[in-house]
Structure 1
Amino acid sequence: MSLLPRRTPLTSALLSRFRHPAQLIVGGFAAAITLGTVALMLPAATTSGDSAGLLRALLTATSAVCVTGLVTVNVDPHWSGFGEVVILALIQAGGLGIMTLATLLAVLVSGRLGLRARLLAQAETKTLHGTDVRRVIRNIVLFSLVSEAVLALVLGLRFALGYGEPPGRAAYLGIFHSISSFNNAGFALWSDGMMRFVADPWVSLPVAFAVILGGLGFPVVFELARAWRRPRTWSVLTRITVGMSVVLLAGGTLLFTAVEWDNPRTLGPLSDQVKIMAGFFTAVMPRSGGLNVIDISQMRPESWLATDILMFIGGGSAGTAGGIKVTTFGLLAFVMWAELRGEDRVNVGHRRVAGPVQRQALTIALLGVGLVAAGTFLLMFITPHSLDRVLFEVISAFATVGLTTGITPELPAAGQVLIIILMFVGRVGPLTIFSALALRERTRRYELPEERPIVG
């Protein structure tokens, strides 16, 4: 008797059509966006009872599935309760990963996984070993739901006890913003984001910590849970992710607090304690959180540039954050350090980093730079906005962050389409996109003579 799930004509057709796991990942995200767009185009999805239109629905659905947060209209009051539930479902699906949910469904139905399903789950979750993908997926789902439930409880109690919201409304606000925060989605039900909670540590700090937790990446979180007392045993992934995250969060907090300290339109009117807390929140959100407690459009250009850098780097691999990932950035830093020291091997801790991993990090970083440069050029060509604002918006879309200087609603249709493409490519990943386009992988069966050209 076969141990693999029984193939139906539909699954056989899909597997024969998509030979590479990356192709199914791209197709899965595209299908989710399509379904979300259709749902948001329904008259029931808006408070006015009129259809939102194709472009607005497509941009909102893409932003939700790609857990970004860039929109052309405020969630409330434009979208109805049904529309908000659709957006929330798309955020949850995008955060967990379409292929992760599909694989979990296969486990529940068949009770076992085939090889191709294991490869799909491994490609989406970026697990380091494919030997027990079912257990990994189960842990991912449980960890996500428990984390969201705890945050929803904290926020719901605060909204009910601190702001007088009715129990049902408080629970809904807690659930919506817990899912949005943990999945680094950047959606809020208030037009000013979370600026009204800038001085409330019971709202802003739990939201910030949820963004950090979701953005670390599932493999790192699981390893920390097992061996947080034994840092010498941590893998290269965990070492780089934790180290770079701490450095970027601490540096970002100091930078934003110092630069915006006396800005009368951001931190200036706040007390010293609230300024530090708001600086920390602002440093957390560029990792892909997308929420704000100060007016991003009123920040100084120096803060915009720092935010651009943090957004482009992003969060941890296999998490809900975007960007090129702190692992990529940190690994390239180790590559540069080894080259400067004249070493022919790249070592992190007590481990040597394989050559293919170094090339992959370089490829992802350069693809990201190229996409951001091309997107910035095109958006400047079709809009009258300045370079700093356009660059900010493009990086925010590519890194699936959702922070904005306020120009997204003003973009023409072509500009909104460009933002949609950047969000999709940024969420699925440049390397996955181009891998999905490859018909097959080729192995070179010969080596050419070596030559060393002049570099620099």
Structure 2
Amino acid sequence: MRADSRGYSSSAPRSALGMIRDGLDAFVRTSPPRFAIVIFAGLILLFTLLFSLPIATADRSVTPLHDALFTAVSVICVTGLATVDMATHWSAFGNVLVYIGVNIGGIGVLTIASILGLAVSRKLGLRARLIAASDSNPGRIHAGPVNEGQAVRLGEVGSLLVTVAASALIIEIVIAVLMIPSMLAAGFDWWSSLWHSFYYSAMAFTNTGFSPNIEGTAQFANDFWFLSLLMVGVFLGSLGFPVIYTLARSWRKPRKWSVHVKLTLVTTVILFVAGAAAFLLLEYNNPRTYGQLEAGPTIFESFFMSAMTRSGGFATIDMADLNGSSLLVSGMLMFIGGGSASTAGGIKVTTLAVLFLAAFAEARGAPAMEAFGRRIPRDILRLAVSVVLWGATIVAVASIAILQITKEPFDYVLFDVISAFATCGLTTGLTADLPPSGVYIMAATMFMGRVGTVTLAAALAASQKRQLFRRPEERPIVG
């Protein structure tokens, strides 16, 4: 005899669905980050199988395993890198898979796990809320008190999930409708214009960067309306759903915005302007990029490049034509990425902001980090340092491996590896020419970059142990 959830006893054996639900519940309770990674890996394996089917290719051939796997990782991780020609290799079925995959991947690792948990349990319980909340505030996966105001409150996660779906749908539809005139002006028929508009809209909002037409965004290099829409989509997608949620509720009351929202907006704008200024200064006399343009188009292209290197992945020029200094600036912007819980990759802008706040507090001799009249706890600094170190380690190891395999120039290798880690999608052309061994390394880099260094570290680490004693303190020499 056993009691059910309502307190009544029952001797009936559990159904298969009940056993699966109980198993998932135990797995989620044990380690939500591991559950999220398993879900993400499962999606990649599923899409690898689907991309391997002959129906997915235009010539009905079987895509090699390394290409199918790489495409699946790039799609689910919303990266935008490719080892095949995305405009010609895939059939209509394959292109639909790409479109669906980037929208699934754009939602986020932990949010996906929450939605699947909701589908199984038919309600958003406490553990599912914790999973979704950790996607908007990585600090939740660590022991100890967490300031809920940094992202979104636990009780608001249900509303956040609705915002995720609604904002993605509304933004993509609006941008797609506004893109249709540009498609018609480019010579596409009505059906192709409609499909390409929705395709580009999804790729912009999810910060992926795939193009459905052979010439890519270079075909629209002089269409500032179309390029502006791409920038708007990339910008909104890179803000992060907690920020969109806050702006949707209280955009007229900035005083009520959390520190997370303010840091994200301020740092994003600063990087956007600073990046544009850097590209303008470094490329205005480069005849292969902006040297042949007038002042107005050069300024616009600089802002476009600044937006795309933050994780957008679109380009109107060949990235290999950039000066070495511009490649380095691009790598720095890609490594930073966008906002937390967004479709963008990288270490996130709030991570960079926390590091600068710590350095500023140290220079002033202040006892704690402060921003917008609030004190930021020291454990957030430890988390930020961990994210940067893990990210730098992943990029360094992958770069060494690709250098050893390809013997290509270091600046090209570093650029493409950072693009993979930050799920940006910009490339110098190196990725498309990689041998299978290099393809697998880049796929692993994309996976670790998208899943997130914090989530990955939490999933691999053993559970924290309580230490009932403190060792003697001693200060090493630093600097």
Contact 1:103-1:121 within 8 A present in 2 as well:
yes
Instruction: Find out whether 1:9 has 2:13 as its counterpart.
Output: no
Q: How many Å separate the matches in 1 of 2:58 and 2:466?
A: 56
1:374 maps to 2:384: no
Contact 1:74 1:190 in 2 (8 A): no
Q: Give the whole-Å Cα distance in 2 for the aligned partners of 1:132 and 1:259.
A: 45
Encode CA deviations 1:296-317: one digit per residue, 9 max, x unaligned.
1111111101001100111101
Contact between 2:108 and 2:342, CA under 8 Å: does it hold in 1? no
Aligned counterpart, 2:324:
301
* Counterpart check, 1:423 vs 2:446: yes
Tell me how large the CA RMSD over aligned residues is: 1.9
- After superposition, residues 353-432 of structure 1 pair within 5 angstroms as 353-432=376-455
Q: 2:37 touches 2:109 (CA, 8 Å); kept in 1? A: no
For residues 293 and 338 of structure 2, the distance between their equivalents in structure 1, rounded to whole angstroms, comes to 29
* Partner of residue 133 from structure 1, selected from 157, 172, 176: 157
Q: Which moved more, 1:164-173 or 1:116-125?
A: 116-125
Residue of 51, 74, 77 corresponding to 2:62? 51
Q: Secondary structure at the match of 1:76?
A: coil
The answer to whether the 8 A contact 1:65-1:93 is kept is yes
Q: Which residue of structure 2 lines up, in the alignment, with residue 190 of structure 1? A: 213
After TM superposition, the structure 1 = structure 2 runs for residues 12-161 of structure 1, keeping only pairs within 5 Å, are 12-17=22-27, 19-104=30-115, 107=118, 112-126=123-137, 128-160=152-184
Name 1:311's counterpart in structure 2: 334
Q: CA deviation at 1:283?
A: 0.5
How far did 1:104 drift? Answer: 3.5
Q: 1:263/1:101 Cα in 2 relative to 1: closer, same or farther (>3 Å)? A: same
Find the aligned partners of 1:418 and 1:116 in 2 and give their Cα distance.
34
Give me the whole-angstrom Cα distance separating, in 2, the residues matched to 1:13 and 1:337.
Answer: 48
Q: Deviations over 1:282-331 (max 9, x none)?
A: 00011111111121111111110100110011110111110000000011
Q: Does 1:211 align with 2:240?
A: no
Change (3 A) 1:226 1:138: closer
Structure-to-structure mapping, 1:181-260, within 5 angstroms: 181-260=204-283
Q: What amino acid sits opposite 2:126 in the alignment?
A: L
1:438 aligns with 2:438: no
- Aligned partner of 2:83: which letter? T
Report if aligned partners of 1:198, 1:274 keep a CA contact under 8 Å in 2: no
What is the Cα deviation at residue 227 of structure 1? 3.7
Q: In structure 1, what is the Cα distance between the partners aligned to 2:189 and 2:240?
A: 35
Q: Kindly state the Cα deviation for residue 105 of structure 1 after the two structures are TM-superposed.
A: 5.4
Offset at 1:454? 1.7
Please list the CA deviations of residues 318-375 of structure 1 after superposition, one character each: whole Å capped at 9, or x if unmatched.
Answer: 1111000000001100001101111121111110001111110111011111111111
Report Cα offsets for 1:200-228 as digits up to 9, x if no partner: 12210010111011001111122233444
Instruction: Kindly state the Cα deviation for residue 111 of structure 1 after the two structures are TM-superposed.
Output: 5.1
* Residue-pair matches, total: 454
TM-score, normalised on structure 1? 0.95
Percent of aligned pairs with the same residue?
39
**What is the alpha-carbon distance in structure 2 between the residues aligned to residue 242 and residue 219 of structure 1?**
12
In the alignment, the residues of structure 2 paired with residue 14 and residue 105 of structure 1 have an alpha-carbon distance, to the nearest angstrom, of: 10
Q: Which runs of 5+ in 1 are unaligned?
A: none
Q: CA deviation at 1:233?
A: 3.5
The change in CA–CA distance for 1:132 and 1:246 in structure 2 (over 3 A counts) is closer
2:367 is the counterpart of 1:344: yes
Structure 2 letter corresponding to 1:153: V
User: Partners in 1 of 2:131 and 2:372 — Cα distance?
Assistant: 31
Deviations, residues 14-33 of structure 1 (Å, cap 9, x unaligned): 33345211001111110110
The farther-off stretch of 244-253 and 113-122 is 113-122
* TM-score normalised by structure 2 residue count: 0.91
Q: 1:311 to 1:215 in 2, by over 3 A?
A: same
Deviations 1:101-149 (A, max 9, x none): 4534554676522222112222234453211322110111101100000
Cα displacement (A) at 1:98:
4.8
